[in-house]
Amino acid sequence: FAGYISQVLKNYTDHACDGEYISLRCPHRTTISIQSSFYGRIVPSHRMCPSRYPHSYATLIKEDVTCSAGTSLQKMLDECQDKRSCQFLVNSRLFGADPCPGTGKYLIVWYKCRPNEYKSKVACEDDKLKLSCKKSMVIAIYSAIFGRTHGDNLECPYQNPGMPMIECQSATALQLMIKRCHGKRSCSIYASTYEFGDPCYPGIRKHLNVIYTCDNTPFLLPVDETQPPALNISMEPVGVSTEMALLSNILAAYAFIT
């Protein structure tokens, strides 16, 4: 059971080279939530996804290591978002025009497994967001975003229709929502820059989007919803999870699943 819980809560990172299959999978009663994606090459082939054919030194020095496809995130959303599993063959044709012909590429995907049952509430900038649960139930915060994201709905349209679509998010929104609401029967907070700071350029209208569940235990601990892990120089995923954080997450997930 503990192994199952850790699968639900962890951040996943998977990758595949050109010509290989990539396979994403989540446990029962959860679905894939794509966090980020990269297709191209930013490190030399001798460090990741080496060529299947021998290369001379003259060929290697011509390799493009500043190569990326801007369509990789949307492609992963189309293929895998909200599914329990997905699998496909990685090649440049999937992502439109080849960003660097003649250079072998790879796909890296960051994703989480999101519970199927959850609630979502949105408040536009300077409006009050109210969360509440029925008697004997308390709030369990799953994620929180304050700012603007690509693909936003029309609940909080731009004040200036001519403004370009810009993505910007507060780095402290989740921590603040956990502090204010997690484990309480009801709470309220203003979707304001006074509370969350201003992560965007002036003139961009922001909103607060919170995903949460109602649970019947008063001893909830926060569920991890960290940003996609960064890559170190060796392309290994890095994070800040600890054994104690995992234990807290297991207890929270046990309450949620029960």
The Cα 175–Cα 77 span in angstroms is: 26
Task: Write the DSSP assignment of 67-90 as a string of letters.
Answer: EE-TTHHHHHHHHHTT-SEEEEE-
**What domains are defined for the chain?**
1-115 (2.60.120.740), 119-215 (2.60.120.740)
Within 10 Å of residue 125's Cβ, how many Cβ atoms?
21
pTM: 0.51
pLDDT in tens, 131-189: 999 888 888 787 888 998 765 556 777 666 666 667 888 888 988 998 899 888 999 99
CA 225 to chain CA centroid, Å, is 8
Looking at this protein, which amino acid is placed at residue 206? Answer: K
CA 105 to chain CA centroid, Å, is 23
pLDDT in tens, 10-68: 678 999 999 999 999 987 777 898 989 999 999 888 888 887 655 544 455 577 888 99
